[in-house]
Chains A and B, each alone.
Chain A
Amino acid sequence: MPALDPVVLFFLLGLAAGLARADLRLPGAIYEFLSMVLLLAIGLKGGVELARQSPAELLPQLGAVLIMGIVLPLAAYPVLRWRLARPDAASIAAHYGSVSVGTFAVAVAFLASHGIDYEAHIPVFVVLLEMPAIVVGILLARGMGRQTNWKRLGHEVFLGKGMVLMGGGLLIGWAAGPEGMRPLGGLFFDLFKGFLALFLLEMGLIAASQMSSLRRHGAFLAVFGIVMPLLSALVGGWVGWSLGLSIGGTALLATLAASASYIAVPAAMRLAVPEANPTLSLAASLGVTFPFNVLVGVPLYLDLARLIHRLGA
């Protein structure tokens, strides 16, 4: 077993500092900046590779990934409904159907440090997987009623930070191509891991603050926050293998399936399903699932991808 990646150690530092109530706090503007750079870098990297690919090859993959994004929250909902009120169950299901770019970035760095290749257009999947779960979550909470202001919500979802920066990065990378991107590579690609380390330090602090609310909200969410990503990773791994992705690509899709949103979905749910308690969903996604995925999940999903490929072959 290799030593923990240093970026993961940064996360542990943040987590420990947060739990010990150390006097440590990244200014909000820096957190914003770090997440912007990570979103752009992931988008740009995918866009550069997209320039080399034919759209016809990509379409069936996009369709399958989209279906996965609809099925996962639908599967999570009945389990959650067993213990939680309808709006809470629907909101948490939406969080787990959507994705976490932070977790994805950790997985990308993990694959890179192990020298494992993956299909570089996978960031397109990240963009694609953000939305469907939000729509499913709202429908689960509300049905097809007229109370939902879809126009306002569409604005929130499509013009949220994640979509604009990652989608914009994809387009810029695609338009500029590998040659055009070279002068910018120093900031966005070479420094990626440094930015990720600082970002994870702050995420550790945030996760620690969510863990304290978990103490109040119980064991059910803690168990769900670990079991759900494991099952989702199986689904994601299977979809990746069926689509003919490489081992690295399969591991990334499993990671995406396993990750839970903590930016786009909370914001959308707060507007569309206000009666859902945001503390519950954030405690699960930030307090349990994000640390679990960063510390244990990502290496596990790579092993899972290897296993699926071996069994499939």
Chain B
Amino acid sequence: MSNEYRKLLTVITESAIERDLLADMERLGAHGYTVTDARGKGSRGVRDAHWGEAGNIRIEVLCDDATAQAIALHLRTRYYDNYAMILFMSEVHVLRPEKF
């Protein structure tokens, strides 16, 4: 069994910008991503996905460290000011490192 680690980048943000965000991530080197609908509460109030336009999404990307840093930097400069967005990274054990 391989003993490789990769970064798991998780972004929780407004569904309004999903399309743009995913395009940005692919351009910055992400090989894939997983998107799920989400709801919750934060500094910008309750985002309960009660209705499509007020929905949140959670995007997860598995990638190498450099790509994760590049995506994080881009999101911070491009979206943090005006959109409800949080982002965090963790290190995860992967079985097939060549995929990410």
Contacts from A to B (Cβ < 8 Å)? 25, 28, 31-32, 152, 202, 205-206, 209, 213, 262-263, 266-267, 270-271, 274-275, 279, 282
Contacts and interface: CB of A to CB of B under 8 A. Distances in A.
Given A267-B16, A274-B82, A275-B81, A28 B49 contact: yes
B88 interface: no
Interface of B: 14, 16-17, 20, 45, 48-55, 81-83
B14 A270 contact: yes
Contact of A266 (B50, B53, B83): B53
B16, B45, B51, B53 interface centre (most CB from chain A within 10 Å): B51
A275 B51 CA distance: 22
A31 B51 contact: yes
B66 to A, nearest CB: 27
Given A267-B53, A271-B16, A279 B82 contact: no
Contacts, number: 35
Given A274-B82, A274-B83, A275-B81, A209 B50 contact: yes
A205, A263, A270 interface centre (most CB from chain B within 10 Å): A270
A270 B17 contact: yes
B50 A271 contact: no
B45 A213 contact: yes
A262 B20 contact: no
A308 B80 CA distance: 50
A113 to B, nearest CB: 27
A310 B17 CA distance: 49
